[in-house]
Amino acid sequence: MMTFRIKHRFILLAIVACVAWTRMAWAGADDLRLGTAGHAFEHLGSYSEQADTAVASGANILYCTGLGGMGYSGLPAEAELQAASKSSKAYLGKAKAKGVRLAIGYVCATSIVKLDSFEKNWSPKFRSQFQSPPKDWLQQDRNGKPLASWYGGDYQPACMNNPDWRVYEKCMVRLQLEAGHDGIFFDNPTVHPEGCYCKFCMAKFGEFSRNGKSAGVEVGSSTEDLRRLALSHPREFMMFRCTTARDFLAEMRKYARSIKRDALITCNNSLNSPDVFYSQCRNYGYNIHEMSKKEDYVVVEDMASQPRMLANGALVEYAPTYKLLHAISHGKPVVAVTIADGDYCTAPNLMRLAMAEAAANGASYLSWPTRPENQRQRMSAGIRQEADFLRRNEKLLNGVKPRRDVMLFLPFRQWLDTNSCAVSGVAGLLCRSNIQFGVFCEDDFKEVVKASSTSSKNPVIVAESASVWNETERALVEKFQKAGGRIIFADKSDWWGELQKVLVQPSVVLAAPAFVRVLVQDQSTRSIVHLYNLNTQKVSSFEDKVQPVADVKLSVRVPFKKVNRVRALTADGAGTDVALPFKVRTEGAASFVEVVVPKLEIATILCVEK
């Protein structure tokens, strides 16, 4: 039998996995399953309607312009609009015949382009839906004057709380769904860095304050009173600003589903780089914790963190950010595009690496298959092999319980106090050390700590410092420690050494170069080990360089005594599924499988079967 410690570690893993990985019982979940889903934008700049290239690359979920581009400028004349809708239906019909399962239509959540001519093509019937002209839909400064767009040029930011703007956005939702789309991707659901002080935002801020979000604050009733309240209570106003996109998405989702029962709603959750995890909440109201409450899944667009090795030997990876995203996304699927140096064209092996990294970390990759015509066939074929591999092996990616030797606490509420997320740095160190860990935020604090207290002699929780607990959490932590639980604070000079001492019998020990990553997951009859090689360098937008690794040695702790076989599956080369020789050793009541992977190019999945 397993010892108390080992046995209950697996009980804890199951509980934690249920918290973060098994909340997908809703419409669209099957299409969004890891491996099954292949996400791709089919437009970029002068490239449009690139469904053929996306499908050739293995994508089956397209993010389409459709009529969304017309929405920026107030829509064209009726005849042109109808022709565009007909064209969109035909285009999407052909795409779905070739294998596209979902088409997600683009709608901008805030931008008005060329305000002076925005309503020039509106019919009296269309215009009658609105109580005010478009010039009154804009976000406003503290004096009630229109705020200039942070994009400059002809852009002006509409307010997501303005009821007439919401009516207009619903028109765009209807047009996109009726043109053949299965859901909506809202771009730029942002609040101006100064905040919006229009009368609608102020009324909602007053309601927000009266509902207990600003305890002890006297709330006036006039717009001017509420503007003064917002200015005198910046913290509360920041909190309120981060509910604007959430509430907008909730209303749009409800409306979309009145038209199409299973319509999916998501948005650009931004996160252009990991270091804006907190600051984007403070500056633009991009609060993923709030928005994900009302989205069907979470999309982020990173501009720099394409996994790779730089010319100077430094490593770039997105795995730590995936961990943080899962902690705040309420169990919703996470989809990410990661590119290098703002270059939307990614060479095939680098994209394959990004797809493997995402899958290993419980997420899906979103690509930009917008390539010059002379590069399309070669690049698409290279990417397709990874997409097909993940699709064939989707049963290994879903219904898994990720190993958690360490639980890292993310007090997401800290965004109110700082632009810098200290936990991101800790997560990066844990990833680089191939320690198996999970991240949980304050939403799951009680559940995770209680499970840890009752399920293991020495569970390990890492927190950035002792100062992050609130009173309720502090009381739970004290009980946790009295039950033998270990808390390690990352602001202590010796915290890393202390953690190493506590991690007895880790889930995996890897003998490989520092650029190899390993993640361990479990299903009922097997342990699944993801390996991927970050030593892939960008040469150009179209070329990359892979440095394979020989003889990667692993010792993997498994939750069963007898091992039938170890399989190595990979899309590298021609793609293989081969049995590897292995040894089983015991250490106390724990069993470990020792295996050597002869060659790791980009990524390999090991199946250790009971």
pLDDT for res 479: 87
Kindly report the pTM of this predicted structure.
Answer: 0.93
Based on the domain organization, do 430 and 291 belong to the same domain?
A: no
Which tens digit of pLDDT belongs to each residue from 515-543? Answer: 999 999 999 999 999 999 999 999 999 99
In a domain, 551, yes or no: no
- Per-residue burial over 99-126, b if 16 or more Cβ lie within 10 Å, else e, is ebbbbbbbbbbbbbbebeebbebbeeee
Sheet with 603-609: list strands edge to edge.
401-402, 516-523, 526-533, 603-609, 565-570, 576-580
Sign of CA dihedral 241, 243, 245, 248: negative
pLDDT for res 589: 87
d(CA 265, CA 445) in angstroms, rounded, equals: 28
Which tens digit of pLDDT belongs to each residue from 215-274? Answer: 445 666 899 999 999 999 999 999 999 999 999 999 999 999 999 999 999 999 999 999
Sequence length of the chain is 610
Based on the domain organization, do 408 and 283 belong to the same domain?
A: no
Burial of 444 (0-12, 13-18, 19+ CB in 10 A): buried
In a domain, 123, yes or no: yes
In a domain, 23, yes or no: no
Average pLDDT over residues 298-326: 97
| Strand ranges in 326-424 using DSSP code E only, listed in sequence order | 334-338, 364-367, 401-402, 406-410
- Which of 463, 480, 503 lies at the terminal end of a domain, its last residue? 503
Percentage above 70 pLDDT, the chain: 93
pLDDT for res 13: 46
pLDDT for res 22: 42
Is the pLDDT at 23 greater than 50? The verdict is no
Phi, psi of 480 (to 5 degrees): -60, -45
Number of domains in the chain: 2
d(CA 186, CA 196) in angstroms, rounded, equals: 19
pLDDT for res 8: 47
pLDDT for res 4: 39
Residue of 160, 177, 178 lying closest to 169 (CA atoms):
160
Which CATH number fits the domain that encloses residue 458? Answer: 3.40.50
In a domain, 555, yes or no: no
pLDDT for res 120: 96
d(CA 502, CA 407) in angstroms, rounded, equals: 13
pLDDT for res 534: 98
pLDDT for res 574: 78
Based on the domain organization, do 108 and 247 belong to the same domain?
A: yes
Based on the domain organization, do 232 and 102 belong to the same domain?
A: yes
In a domain, 557, yes or no: no
pLDDT for res 483: 83
In a domain, 283, yes or no: yes
pLDDT for res 299: 98
- Which of 465, 484, 503 lies at the terminal end of a domain, its last residue? 503
Is the pLDDT at 1 greater than 50? The verdict is no
**Full domain range(s) for residue 418:** 404-503
Which tens digit of pLDDT belongs to each residue from 549-558? Answer: 999 999 999 9
Based on the domain organization, do 427 and 288 belong to the same domain?
A: no
What's the pLDDT band for 9 if we cut at 50, 70, 90?
A: very low
In a domain, 387, yes or no: no
Is the pLDDT at 36 greater than 90? The verdict is yes
pLDDT for res 458: 57
Is the pLDDT at 49 greater than 90? The verdict is no
Which tens digit of pLDDT belongs to each residue from 171-210? Answer: 999 999 999 999 999 999 999 999 999 999 999 999 999 8
pLDDT for res 428: 98
| Pair of tokens at residue 374 | 């002379």
Is the pLDDT at 7 greater than 50? The verdict is no
Which tens digit of pLDDT belongs to each residue from 356-396? Answer: 999 999 999 999 988 888 999 999 999 999 999 999 999 99
Which range has the top average pLDDT, 46-55, 475-484, 514-523? 514-523
Based on the domain organization, do 284 and 143 belong to the same domain?
A: yes
**pLDDT, mean over the chain:** 92
In a domain, 398, yes or no: no
Average pLDDT over residues 28-48: 87
**Residues in CB range of 156: below 8 A, 6 or more apart:** 111, 112, 113, 115, 138, 146, 148, 149
Percentage above 90 pLDDT, the chain: 84
